[in-house]
A and B are shown apart, each in its own frame.
Chain A
Amino acid sequence: MKIVVTVKLVPDTSADKRIDPGTKRLVRSGVETVLNPFDEYAIEAALQLKEQLGSETTVTVCSMAPESGKEVVRKALAMGADDALLISDMALAGSDVPTTAAVLAAALRKHGFDLVLCGTQSTDAITGELPGMLAEMLGIPGLTYVRKLEIDGTTVRALRETETGYQRVSVSLPALVSVTKSINQPRYPALKGIMAAKKKTIAVQTLAEIGFDQPVGTDGAKIEVIALAAPAPRGKGRVVKSADADEGAHVIVEFLKEKKLL
């Protein structure tokens, strides 16, 4: 079985991001680029399936990223993925979510797949829209928010989280599955894995090489940023040291009344 995991490269989540007031863009210098943390759960899910299904199962990691992202993607190979595919093209800068999904769909079609695994969302844009869009563009079922996943022959059985509980859902392969953090605990790359990853292939392909000829980047985007503003500042509020529970609770209740929240 051919499993492909889509991943995104994002700024380190523990960094306090800021916007350059001049360029109005995210300041990336001094901030480390990492694998989107949500995607590590998708990689782990793929590796566990490979362990269950045997050596004929392959796990490929696929990302739309500049070639400089190679070393970040290598972490997925160190975890145990077999190889990686980067779609890198200068023209892609400024692409929106529909363009990203369309480019990934073209790359996946060319590469071939039985199962596509995604993280639920990225930690930078946080739209959570890519998995559904990619499934639509590939014309395959897309199970989102999955916290338990089983493959039985060509049947995918999953538990999908919902706002009020969960659904038990089944589909036939080929399919796309996006996983939540509840599904597993991603492994850390072991030294052996890190060494092995150095010899694994990271293929880099351009748009022409995957046969994608639609407009991309800001030209292809159907959305444009027309203004950027700083949010209203949130200053330090009141700090009250309560002598006991009664006083503490009293302070909060009075505050809520004052704010008309009670």
Chain B
Amino acid sequence: MRDVVVFIEHQGGTPRRVSLELATHAHELARALGGKACAVVVGAQAAQAAEVVRRYPLDRLYVAADEEAQAFAIEPEVAYLESVARTLGPALILVPNTMLGRDVGSRIAARLGAAIASDATEITIEGGRVAVVSPKLGGLTVTTCAFKNTDYGVVSVRPNVFAAREGEAAADVVPLAKLPGTVYRMKIEEEVVEEATELGVEEASVVVSGGRGLGGPEPFTTILHDLAQALGGAVGASRAAVDAGWIPHSHQVGQTGKTISPKLYIAVGISGAIQHKVGMRTAGTIVAINKDPNVPIGEFADLLVVGDLFQIVPQLTKKVREAQAVLA
């Protein structure tokens, strides 16, 4: 493996932050491997996304500004990434550990007969050998894995673990022509954006989650939403809240939901049973608000405030906004 190739995920031309984190880290990895740091951006608004990605320290940026890519799910991204990987030869391919990133990563690995390592929180290179560190079993153990018998290695990287830093805009921009003979089958008939202003829980650096203690769907869209917004974060939920139908499953944190590592996790009215704990115990800082001083979450939260969440949360939102006003 010599070159590093980053799959850039973007939303209508706006790259997701995790893509920029990978574009930044690719530089370091490529230097250690003695190759080039490359990235691939695909879609109708690829050129717009490329303008942003160019500010990061890449050697080469492949741009597939393909209108057709907008009309099909997953397949165009995989097809262009595959063509770049085959052109470059043995490479380390980085995808974000997000819904789309996992889809692209698993398929590109299948097509290239590549090794795949999931949910990396650290990537090291020693003597040309790539080692991938990732928490497993919900953070119960941390494994270091190496690739073997393979030309290509795919790594899905957890958002929020690497810094995104702009560098010299020196990347060669390489436009990609339409791939002849490629047929896409998964036709998108309608794309609906429900929460345009919110980041997903996997990517947000702050997650404010609600559980059974919220008592119904309404507090998720009012007091919890307001606090998440004040902190620039996303709204998460426990299994109990999702199973009760108070909030969609895409917000669920835990063993049967998402495993996340935000810088700050605020658990509101969540007991913190093992099934929830495995989804968030690698968060930087955990704050819990609960009426019960003996909830399990108190055993591993950095701060547990015991009191009435319906009173504390709005007050907290107010104080956060005041503190931010002073700082600004």
Q: Are A222 and B150 in contact (CB under 8 A)?
A: yes
Size class of the contact patch on chain B: 35 or more
Task: Give CA–CA (A142, B150) in the complex, Å.
Answer: 25
Chain B residues 80-138 with CB under 8 Å of chain A are 98-100, 102-103, 105-107, 109-111, 113-119, 131, 135-138
Q: Are B263 and A19 in contact (CB under 8 A)?
A: no
* B287 shortest CB reach to chain A, Å: 6
Identify which of B61-69, B161-169, B172-180, B298-306 touches chain A: B298-306
Q: Are B307 and A242 in contact (CB under 8 A)?
A: yes
Known contacts A129-B106, A169-B189, A242-B307; A143 and B73 CB within 8 A of each other: yes
Residue from A18, A141, A228 with most neighbouring chain B CB atoms (10 Å) = A141
Identify which of B41-49, B139-147, B212-220 touches chain A: B139-147
Identify which of A58-66, A83-91, A107-115, A232-240 touches chain B: A232-240
Q: Are A162 and B100 in contact (CB under 8 A)?
A: yes
Task: Give CA–CA (A168, B192) in the complex, Å.
Answer: 8
Chain B residues 242-301 with CB under 8 Å of chain A are 242, 248-250, 252, 255-256, 259, 263-264, 273-275, 281-282, 285-287, 289, 293, 298-301
A208 within 8 A of B: no
| Chain A residues, Cβ within 8 Å of B190 | 167-168
A194 within 8 A of B: no
Q: Are A226 and B106 in contact (CB under 8 A)?
A: no
Q: Are A133 and B137 in contact (CB under 8 A)?
A: no
Task: Give CA–CA (A248, B265) in the complex, Å.
Answer: 17
Q: Are B188 and A169 in contact (CB under 8 A)?
A: yes
* A155 shortest CB reach to chain B, Å: 10
Would you call the interface of chain A mostly helix, strand, loop, or mixed?
A: mixed
Task: Give CA–CA (A226, B145) in the complex, Å.
Answer: 5
Q: Are A181 and B242 in contact (CB under 8 A)?
A: yes
B148 within 8 A of A: yes
| Chain A residues, Cβ within 8 Å of B327 | 262
A130 within 8 A of B: yes
B315 within 8 A of A: yes
| Chain B residues, Cβ within 8 Å of A182 | 248-249
Known contacts A16-B274, A37-B256, A132-B103; A229 and B142 CB within 8 A of each other: yes
List A residues at the B interface (Cβ < 8 Å): 13-19, 26, 37-38, 96-98, 101, 123-133, 135-137, 141-145, 147, 160-172, 180-182, 221-231, 234-242, 244-246, 248-253, 255-257, 259, 261-262
List B residues at the A interface (Cβ < 8 Å): 11, 73-75, 98-100, 102-103, 105-107, 109-111, 113-119, 131, 135-150, 153, 156, 185-196, 198, 200, 202-203, 206, 242, 248-250, 252, 255-256, 259, 263-264, 273-275, 281-282, 285-287, 289, 293, 298-308, 311-312, 314-316, 318-320, 323-324, 327
